[in-house]
Chain A
Amino acid sequence: MKITDYIITAQQNLFRQKLRTSLTMIAIFIGALTLSLTNGIGEGVRNFFTDQLSSAESENTILIVTNQTKFSTEDSGSPVGSIPEYNPEKQSLDGFAFTILTQEQCDFLQSDQKINDNLSLKDAVQSVYCGYPLQIEYITNPQEDKRYIADISTYVPEIRVELLAGRLITKDDENAIVVSERYATILGFEEPQDAVGKTVHVGVENPTSVIKEFPVTIVGVQPNSFVNGGQPFGNESLVREMYQYAVGNNEKLLDSYSGAIAVLDSDLSEDDVSEVRSYLHAENFETETFEEIIGRFVLQFIDLARWGLNLFALVVLLVAAFGIANTILMSVYERTREIGLMRALGASKKNVFFLMSFEAMILGFWGALIGLIGGIVIGTILSSIASNTILEGIDGFTLFAFPILSSIGIVVLIILISFIASIIPAIKAMRLDPIKALRHE
């Protein structure tokens, strides 16, 4: 028999028993719907974070601090929730990571030390940015009276930042900052492009508690993002100027950094990168890639949650599988004579087996397809509700995602489950003795 004949015959046989077929299909439908939704939300959340990751130069950019300090997860901030107003009595952002990266250490990173016979630090490291531990008091729009807490860090060109309006900071900029969309909003600009070119003030306190306001120009607006905790970036000379004011004449403080971002040569192999990192570890540095920082905390959790949810859906499908097995078994009993006839007319055992298992697979296919479509419809509706409510303000976050490959994967998986469910009834059909089957009433 031809494969198209199996499919057509199975389809016809299934729809001869419309009620029974529909009832079994409902079970598969529910399983497919659940699986597409649980997997969809997993994909959606995962996509969001991987996008965030790839917007940073994730593989070859490493953060370096000395091993006297550990990375603090709290200082990354959060792009959701409201930005608190400035309160002079209170510290600004929580969890600020104090640092002891000295000028010598920063110089060391840019030196020509040999890592191994083939590699020196200068070859491996393309550029190093040592960041000042600047702590500003507030950011404010002089046209309005509200002041908001913020944290400004040096803009590193290698960290790719997407833009909603304006441009990125260039080498020649003075007093330029890039803010995230939510800062633009609270600073009184309705649309991202309204903020571009506008001057806002950044308040910095010196050691004698005198606050000076630095006028800065917003050159670009980025989407709300986890990169840099959604905090503003400023050009290097601006940040240095503010930092100098903040520490006064304390030379020791002037020469200390919160940490360094080293951009490694993009041609380095994975082995070379780990070579460089273990060399730095031996020199009392701690290193982490962007991927590791976000990945460690977020992606593992997302994947775990996603498979936990999918497991529920698979239990539903397991139950549906017994329904399929039962349906096919009934079909075998009902069509015993027909099977006997086909055997008499020369059909092989294999023909009979596949005729029955195709019936299960077609059943699974339709159930999966309808379930998947239902899941996509429900997921899309829920996504748009979520974007307008709980996820408002986070751009590029579609709660449910249905990539084509995993959608096909779901359908194929359910067809496979249906096939497995049909094996026992199909073997039973295959083993029928044609003569006895023909006598069957």
Chain B
Amino acid sequence: MNTQIQLKDLTKTYQDGTQSFTALHDINLSIKAGERVAIIGKSGSGKSTLMHVMSLLDSPTAGDVLIEGKSVSRINEYQKNKLRNKAFGFIFQQFFLNPQQNVLHNVALPLKIDGVPSAERNEKAKSLLKNVGLEDKMNEKAVNLSGGQKQRVAIARALVNDPLVIFADEPTGNLDTETGKQVIDLLLQYNEEKNITLVVVTHDDDIAEICKKQIHLSDGKITKK
């Protein structure tokens, strides 16, 4: 299997006036295509920062991120946007749906950003809603859904662009155990069926358990792989 994401001697420091804070220390890590990776740690351990840097939402202070062998420091803003838009899917703890928009349009958002014509993107969004079992909620405003339903919509949105990697930041953090399990099962299903790499940030041991690769972070350092 190919190495899909590689972090080399990666350090991230935040500068706030005269004070500086190092969120990530010398991280070395590689993720292969189709792998399931859990990033585990207490809050403040740097796990979200690690995910942001890995997913190109943030850039490292030192070191490098390589996506399929290509150094990210060499690609421009436009290419980073394109990569996030076409190759990555994102799932957040707070779902981040547009509450006043209907479910279909929420799912189609990445395709709209990409400039896909509306008929085509709605078709694609519809088929994904079918897969997550929310086809009947298509025209419902997102605000009217339950937490579990919202996260399933978010999963559909993360998958609508046929990504290579899904980044999930505490995907079950706002859900009860039962719905949380459904959401995780759904993610596992896509990981297995479509070989989509899954990077999950979590402090839930049950979720960490199902991932072959577990990265434990503490004070910005990897303590256990």
Which A residues are within 8 Å of any B CB, using their own CB? 1-2, 4-5, 9, 12, 16, 337-338, 341-342, 344-349, 351, 434-435, 438
Contact = CB atoms under 8 A, between A and B. Distances in A.
B110 interface: yes
A285 B58 CA distance: 83
Interface string B86-123: 10101010001010110000000110111101100000
B113 A344 contact: no
Given A1-B115, A342-B113, A438 B96 contact: yes
Contact of A5 (B77, B92, B101, B118): B118
B117 A2 contact: yes
Interface in B69-84: 77-78, 81-84
Interface of B: 52, 57-58, 77-78, 81-86, 88, 90, 92, 96, 98, 100-101, 109-110, 112-115, 117-118
B66 to A, nearest CB: 19
Given A1-B112, A12-B101, A16-B100, A345 B118 contact: no
Nearest to B87: A346
B112 A346 contact: no
28 contacts: A1-B113, A2-B115, A4-B118, A5-B112, A12-B101, A16-B100, A338-B98, A341-B96, A342-B109, A342-B113, A344-B57, A345-B84, A345-B85, A345-B90, A345-B109, A345-B110, A345-B113, A346-B81, A346-B82, A346-B84, A346-B113, A346-B114, A347-B85, A347-B113, A348-B81, A349-B77, A435-B52, A438-B96
A335 to B, nearest CB: 9
Given A342-B109, A351-B113, A435-B58, A337 B96 contact: yes
B35 to A, nearest CB: 22
Contacts of B98: 338
Contacts of A344: 57, 84, 90
Contact of A435 (B57, B77, B81, B82): B57
A347 B81 contact: yes
Contacts of B118: 4-5
Contacts of A5: 112, 115, 118
Contacts of B112: 1, 5, 9
A5 B115 CA distance: 8
Contact of B110 (A346, A348, A351, A438): A346
A35 B186 CA distance: 59
Given A338-B96, A345-B109, 5 more contacts: A342-B113, A346-B83, A346-B84, A346-B113, A347-B85
Given A2-B115, A351-B113, A438-B96, A346 B86 contact: yes
Nearest to A338: B98
Contacts of A347: 81, 85, 113
A345 B58 CA distance: 13
Contacts of B78: 348
Contacts of B115: 1-2, 5
Contacts of A12: 101
A5 B101 CA distance: 14
A347 B110 CA distance: 8
A146 B88 CA distance: 96
Contacts of A349: 77
Nearest 9 A/B pairs, CB to CB: A346-B85, A346-B84, A341-B96, A347-B113, A348-B81, A345-B110, A346-B81, A2-B115, A16-B100
Nearest to A433: B58
B114 to A, nearest CB: 7
Contacts of A2: 115, 117
A347 B90 CA distance: 13
Contacts of A342: 109, 113
A439 to B, nearest CB: 9
B92 to A, nearest CB: 7
A135 B210 CA distance: 114
Interface centre among B52, B83, B86 (most CB of A within 10 A): B52
B121 to A, nearest CB: 10
Contacts of B117: 2
A351 B109 CA distance: 13
A434 B77 CA distance: 13
A16 B141 CA distance: 13
B127 to A, nearest CB: 19
Contacts of A341: 96, 109
B57 to A, nearest CB: 6
Nearest to A434: B57
Nearest to A345: B110
Nearest to A6: B112
B44 to A, nearest CB: 14
Nearest to B97: A341
A128 B83 CA distance: 81
B109 A438 contact: no
A2 B113 CA distance: 8
B108 to A, nearest CB: 10
Contacts of B58: 435
Interface centre among B82, B85, B90, B113 (most CB of A within 10 A): B113
B120 to A, nearest CB: 11
A351 B88 CA distance: 19
Nearest to A16: B100
B113 A438 contact: no
B60 to A, nearest CB: 14
A372 B78 CA distance: 41
B90 A348 contact: no
A9 B109 CA distance: 11
